[in-house]
Amino acid sequence: MTTQISDPREELKRQAAIEAASMVQDGMVVGLGSGTTSAYMIDELGRRWAEGLRFSAIPTSEHSAEQARSHGIKLVTFAAHPRIDLDIDGADEVEMGTLNLIKGRGGALFREKIVAAASHRFVVVVDESKLVKRLGHHMPVPVEVTTFGWEMTAARLEALGARAILRMTPQGKPFITDGGNLILDCNFGEIADSVALARRIRSIVGVIESGLFIGRTSEVIVAGGDGLKHLTAG
C-alpha cells in the first residue's frame, strides 16, 4: 500500500521521483542523486529491487550510499563502470528553456557533477516551485572550496558580485563535504549569464566546483498541480 504524505509539496516530489525511478531497467548502471527528492527515488528503486529488478548504482553521497545499501542495492565504482546509463537527481532551481540548474543545497555538488558528467542521460526531478526564469531567483550558488585559504577564495567570489557566506552546521561548525571541503553559499541575485558566471567561478584558485550545472540536463520531470510534466531543453 502506498503511503500518502501530508505535505502537498513533498507528495509532488515523491510522485516525480517515482516516475523517474520507472525509467530504470534491468542491467543499467544508475547514478543515485542526493537530497530529499532523490531519497524518494532510492526508496522506490529499493521497492523494485525487492521485486526482482537488478541494476548497478553509483551514489553521489555517503548518505545516498547508505540508503541504497539498506535496500540491498548493488553499489559499484567508476573503476568497473566508467559510463553511467542514467543519472537521476534533484535540483534547487531549474532555469526554464535552458534547463540549466543550481544544485548543492545538500552539499554533494562535486560528486553530483562528476556522476552527471559520466552519464548518458541526466534526468532531474523537481516540484514546480523549483522552476525559475533565471537562476539565482530564490537560491544562492553553492561553491565547494578548499579549506586552506578559503577566506581569499571568498574574497575573489565577492569580487564577481557575490555575497559569499560560509555554510555552517546546525551546531555552529563549518559544514564539511564528503570530500573534506567547505561550501560557500554565494548570492549573486538573478544571473543574467549563467554560462559566463560558471566559467569565471571555475577560474578562481581554491574553487573545487560550483553548483551551476550548465548544459548537462537531458530531461526534467516536474510534479505540479496539473500532474507530471516532462521538459527538455529548447
189 plus 162 within the same structural domain:
yes
Residue 231, domain member (yes or no): no
Residue 230, domain member (yes or no): no
Give the predicted TM-score (pTM) of the model: 0.93
CA triple 158-106-156, angle to 5 deg: 15
Burial of residue 1 (number of CB atoms within 10 Å: 0-12, 13-18, 19+): exposed
For residue 105, which amino acid is it?
Answer: R
218 plus 152 within the same structural domain:
no
| Cβ(191)–Cβ(136) below 8 Å | yes
Residue 233, domain member (yes or no): no
Active site residue 93: no
CA–CA separation, 143 vs 182, rounded Å? Answer: 8
Structural domain containing residue 51: 8-130+214-224
CA–CA separation, 186 vs 190, rounded Å? Answer: 12
CA triple 191-192-195, angle to 5 deg: 85
Question: Could you give the 3-state DSSP secondary structure of residue 42?
Answer: helix
197 plus 114 within the same structural domain:
no
Q: How many domains does the chain have?
A: 2
Burial of residue 10 (number of CB atoms within 10 Å: 0-12, 13-18, 19+): middle
What is the H or E stretch that residue 97 is in? none
Q: How far apart are the first and last CA of the chain?
A: 39
Residue 15, domain member (yes or no): yes
CATH number, position 201 = 3.30.70.260
Residue 37, domain member (yes or no): yes
Residue 2, domain member (yes or no): no
Strand partners, 57: 30, 75
Active-site residue, from 19, 93, 112, 209: 112
Residue 89, domain member (yes or no): yes
What is the pLDDT tens value at each position of the chain, 234 positions in all? 445 567 888 898 899 999 999 999 999 999 999 999 999 999 999 999 999 999 999 999 999 999 999 999 999 999 999 999 999 999 999 999 999 999 999 999 999 999 999 999 999 999 999 999 999 999 999 999 999 999 999 999 999 999 999 999 999 999 999 999 999 999 999 999 999 999 999 999 999 999 999 999 999 999 998 889 999 986
49 plus 165 within the same structural domain:
no
| Cβ(114)–Cβ(58) below 8 Å | no
